[in-house]
Amino acid sequence: MSLLQTREKKSLFFTKVLDTYQEVDDGISDQECTYSTQEIIDYLTDPSAKKEFEKVLADLLAMGSEMRPWGSGKRRWLEFLYRGEEVAYIGTLHKAFKAQHYDPDADEWVKPMVMMTYAEWEQRSKPWVTKLTKPTSEGSVAK
């Protein structure tokens, strides 16, 4: 940062020296922060959001997805796999939950969307997850 002063005016000039981001190592690995499924559900403080989250959870399990809790720091997620391939994540906030799913058409993960109801899950993420959990002719995920 530089300050240039002329008679009655002062001006600040900023120079970018370094444009990088590196995750801070807090000494806690993901494995040490893994939460139980119930701890993830209990992180929701809104009772109605908790019920909606549980409906989404049941829906994913009914699709034949494998589930594993995952967490790091404040992030608490349930990761869903179908035949070993990641297809979706659902995570909790204080009053709502987030869902993220893989989009096979774009070959990328859709950014987490904040949701409050099962209906939002059905509209936004379920069609993609359903598409991913349909076996292909080779028997693997359609990814």
Tell me, yes or no, whether 5 lies in a domain. Answer: no
| pLDDT value of position 26 | 46
Residue 55 pLDDT level (bands cut at 50, 70, 90): very high
Contact 78, 14 (CB under 8 A): no
Tell me, yes or no, whether 58 lies in a domain. Answer: yes
Q: What is the pTM of this model?
A: 0.66
Tell me, yes or no, whether 24 lies in a domain. Answer: no
pLDDT digits (tens, 9 = 90+) for 62-79: 888 888 887 766 778 888
Side-chain half-sphere of 26: how many Cα atoms within 13 Å? 9
Tell me, yes or no, whether 83 lies in a domain. Answer: yes
Domain range for 51 = 32-133
Three-point CA angle 115, 122, 75, nearest 5°: 35
Phi-psi region of 78 (alpha: psi -120 to 50; beta: other; left: phi over 0): beta
Tell me, yes or no, whether 84 lies in a domain. Answer: yes
Q: How many domains does the chain fold into?
A: 1
pLDDT of residue 30 exceeding 60:
no
Tell me, yes or no, whether 22 lies in a domain. Answer: no
Tell me, yes or no, whether 6 lies in a domain. Answer: no
Tell me, yes or no, whether 115 lies in a domain. Answer: yes
**b/e sequence 41-78, b meaning 16+ C-beta within 10 Å:** bebbeeeebbebbeebbebbeebebeeeebbbeeebbb
